[in-house]
Amino acid sequence: MCDTMVAVGNVTADGSVILAKNSDREPNEAHVLVHIPRQQHPPQSKIKCTYIEIPQVEETYEVFLAKPFWIWGCEMGVNEYGVAIGNEAVFTKEPYQKEGGLIGMDFIRLALERAQTAYQALHVIVDLLEQYGQGGNCGFEHPTYYHNSFILADPDEAWVLETAGKYWAAERVKDVRSISNGLTIGETWDEASPDLVEHAIEKGWCKSRQDFNFARCYSDFLYTRLDGCIPRQCRSMDLLKENAGNLDVARMMGFLRDHGIKAQQDPTWDPSRGWIMDTLCVHASFGPTRPSQSTGAMVAHLTKDISTIWATGTSGTCTSIFKPLFLCGQDFPPMGKTPTGKYDPESLWWQHERLHRRVLQDYAHRMAVYREERDRLEESFIQEAAQSVQASRELSKAEQAQKLASLSKSCFERASRATQAWTEKVAATPLQKSPSLLFSWSWQNFNKKAGISLQE
């Protein structure tokens, strides 16, 4: 389960386009940040995606991918042209193709590697969808099958693309837009698969074009309500609309950390409350209606010359810190070993889990230990990135790349040192209020499966 939102230039503070996403996956499904340079490929070559092999193109673009460690594609990413994409699982009446297709994360990576605009990326996806279909297990420990929706953005515009099997509809974003784990396009759209309405009529989901509503006709009623997508999508749209005209990177980061109005009003709020995933920053708990949590987050600040990618590379958006990355032909900063589903203190993702999971033991009191310090450090990163981007515009490409890569490296190093210090502070903070028994029991099991101990 995930949440993706976008604001286009007429409502952002600086006229840029900003896309933000939380990737919600299973608690031990480690997230990894990947940099792949522009590459040339031999004619007639093939590429193996998560489950199937398809023809490769002659050239693929430089990309940033934020992805579950075991999947070929990504949950969210950006390419060298400033195209950014995030996807959502959606549950529909169309049957799920369980083998022999591309999964939603594959579509994102393929589109980023092959498209120079958001509109081109949209058509890369729908062309591949028509040719290969979408299918295959998308769950880590628990097999999960679904269809996909996407927000695709570039420095000029953004699009929403929603699918049900091989059927799809797309609309251009006018100001702000968000998607969660349910279809949202209704009676109108800008583009769609040719037989979208006719298929719904044949299935008896509506009687005529006048009666047709894409979301109503194609959505699966039960899963769309149990996954908490309706309150999450309403909340993200409210936040976007309330801040229209002043939307910037810091605000979008704040939206991804949002736990709802009740959490804002109650300083004792903790994430053990509730039975469904109804907050933008999601925390896993007991039962089939809370199986996921925010395992990674990204805010893409898209401008015509230098786009800045803000990524946590860690789980629990509310406990994490965003760091800047740039696609400038340079390698990303060292992030330790590639994580897996087992605890590894040498990987960035699992290093942060020692902090994140300790905070969850007494959220209200332990988060307060370092929240303000985290916010100040993150604000300094934002200011430094803005200054570096502005200064680098006067430099040669080589000098620009070196300057931006140096900033990324510095921010990651400072964030790492801070995370270590915060972990020690939190561990030394006595527990004052424990979460619910079911929440605590769930996290004891997650920790046991991962092989992570919080005692030492």
Strand 323-325 to strand 308-311: parallel, antiparallel, or no bridges (unpaired)? antiparallel
Do residues 329 and 352 touch, judged by C-beta distance below 8 A?
no
Beta-bridge partners for 89 = 148
User: Which residue, among 335, 333, 320, 308, has the nearest Cα to 378 in the 3D structure?
Assistant: 320
Do residues 279 and 13 touch, judged by C-beta distance below 8 A?
no
Beta-bridge partners for 321 = none
Cα 447-451-454 angle, rounded to 5 deg: 60
Query: Which DSSP string corresponds to 271-330?
Result: TT--SS--SSS----SSTTS--EEEEEEEEEE-SS--EEEE--SS-GGG---EEE--SSS
Cα 53-59-61 angle, rounded to 5 deg: 100
- Whole-angstrom CA distances from 160 to 5, 180, 262 are 10, 11, 29
Do residues 235 and 280 touch, judged by C-beta distance below 8 A?
yes
Name every residue whose Cβ is closer than 8 Å to that of residue 100 and which is 6 or more positions away in sequence: 51, 52, 132, 133, 135, 136
Which residue is it, tokens 């210090």? 421
Told to judge if 229 belongs to the known catalytic residues of this protein, a careful annotator would answer no
From 2, 49, 74, 281, active-site residue: 2
Phi, psi of 183 (to 5 degrees): -65, 145
Catalytic residues: 2
